[in-house]
Structure 1
């Protein structure tokens, strides 16, 4: 039965694009936002467009049109922010297409008819917006990739690393990747590591689910899967300190375990994103 919860999603597309979220899939984001069967009341994204470049670069104009049409096909409302150019006293030209104000105003005005707001950004300028939305009774969740404001993460009701949401960010060199199946490439975190024994356990989200709060893979209904990992499979760039830091995002392949029925082991474990990177 559908939930009566009304959900609004607001995407700071430029912030996402420049901070690790290039090629983010809007269809998967929509699926994640609706994981609890709520009503997707607002799906807003704020995309920059360089009109001057589009007049001179036919390929850019074509790709921009196609991309915006694809996003609209998934049911999103697009607010286009046109790039502006500024020249300083030294003659240096800088560009800007900031959507912060539009996004903040829309979220505040529309919050009256929302129960949950999902912000997709890493910009700490939204800190006061989060507090205001919460004071109006909204639950506020945050999705970000790299350079996400620490304060913003702590202020929201839940923070999700976009790297860990299945298929939200495609694995570029695995175009037919079947996330979660043996042979596929996934991203996850290390939950336990035993330096003296030379092994540990990694965890990844197997599927988008309303039960993401059940983080223990041993619990019935948990969408998380635990994977055995031997130290020999870990890239040299990944230190023990990184492994024991839950903020370190690892990318690895899944293989069937020879020791445990229906078990999985990790191979070719490398750093996707880490605080020490």
Structure 2
């Protein structure tokens, strides 16, 4: 009898929001976490709420509570962290809603009944937590967006950029975008680039699939699609160095080639490595 994989997901929502994951779709994240066909035992997200602002700004309160309810409807446990304000000696006010400790403790306590933990964050403060979870026999995967700790990436069993997961983040200027269809906008990486020839090949994930480790699009079970790219389609900031860096996340449109059965890339832009969005 085959054992069912028990999965837990822990989302550091504030870290994600301030590092490129604003408007993350929790329904798609749930699908991604369950791609192995396992049982989603824990779905925890740690969301900040500013009580003082809510008293003065009814619209903020309405939007925040509506958002929390929507996340709950997708089957997530929402752990609300109230924002706290601190004033230093010079009178400067800072706000914090740090969920690191809560998330770390929950992950450690709940790992006893889990086989796989997906941590959605980029915070290097979780290094010791990851090591402890792995020592307990759990597989730990990481999903992040911008400003992800390099040490954390190297420590986990696998790392995924949230920008590359189909539909996990909306394409704001393409509200009806059909990811992977001709004419759609997708995000991917450069798999091969020939500077002297002025062309190469991009690669994007065409579907959420348990075989994300099969990165060669030529293999039958690979969930990846290869796209031809000519240098004329690159934006000014997309240099040869950018194309030859596998960590560069590219956003581009795909069209059917008029020369063969393949796809070609148009309007290739670089997804910035830094930046944030607010609620």
TM-score, normalised to structure 2, is 0.97
Q: C-alpha distance in 2, partners of 1:92/1:210?
A: 48
Distance 2:151 2:205 in 1: 25
Query: Is the alpha carbon distance of 1:149 and 1:90 closer, same or farther for their aligned partners in structure 2, counting shifts above 3 Å?
Result: same
Task: Give the conservation status (yes or no) of the 8 Å contact 1:2–1:38.
Answer: no
Q: Relative to structure 1, is the Cα distance of residues 171 and 196 closer, same or farther in structure 2, using a 3 angstrom cutoff? A: same
Do structure 1's residue 56 and structure 2's residue 63 form an aligned pair? Answer: no
The answer to whether 1:268 aligns with 2:267 is: yes
The answer for the alignment partner of 2:240 in structure 1 is 240
Q: Distance in 2 between matches of 1:266 and 1:100?
A: 40
Verify: 1:71 aligned to 2:60, yes or no. no
Task: Check the 8 A contact 2:7/2:116 in 1, yes or no.
Answer: yes
2:86 is matched with which residue?
86
How far apart are 1:197 and its partner, in Å?
0.8
Q: Answer whether contact 1:28 1:167 (CA < 8 A) is retained.
A: yes
Tell whether 2:179 aligns with 1:183. Answer: no
In structure 2, what is the equivalent of residue 12 of structure 1? 12
Q: Is the 8 A contact 1:82 1:97 kept in 2?
A: yes
Matching residue of 2:223: 223
- Residue 131 (structure 1) shift: 0.3
Aligned equivalents of 1:53 and 1:179: distance in 2? 37
- 1:157-236 equivalent positions in 2, closer than 5 A: 157-236=157-236
How big is each residue's C-alpha offset from its partner over 1:77-102, in whole Å with a ceiling of 9 and x where there is no partner? 01000000011111111100000000
Q: CA deviation at 1:274?
A: 4.3
Matched-pair contact (CA < 8 Å) for 2:147–2:273: no
Q: CA deviation at 1:2?
A: 8.7
Q: Structure 1 CA distance, aligned partners of 2:91 and 2:152? A: 36
Contact 1:3 1:36 in 2 (8 A): no
Report deviation, 1:273.
3.1
Give the aligned partner of residue 277 of structure 2.
none
Post-superposition shift, 1:217? 0.3
User: 1:121 maps to what in 2?
Assistant: 121
CA distance, structure 1, for counterparts of residue 239 and residue 231 of structure 2: 10
Aligned-pair CA distance for 1:3: 6.0
Partners in 2 of 1:253 and 1:218 — Cα distance? 21
Contact 1:208–1:223 (CA under 8 A) maintained in structure 2: yes
- Hey, what's the Cα distance between the residues in 1 that align with 2:115 and 2:193? 39
**CA RMSD after TM alignment:** 1.2
CA distance 1:231–1:45, change in 2 (3 Å): same
Distance 1:16 1:238 in 2: 25
Aligned to 1:134: 134
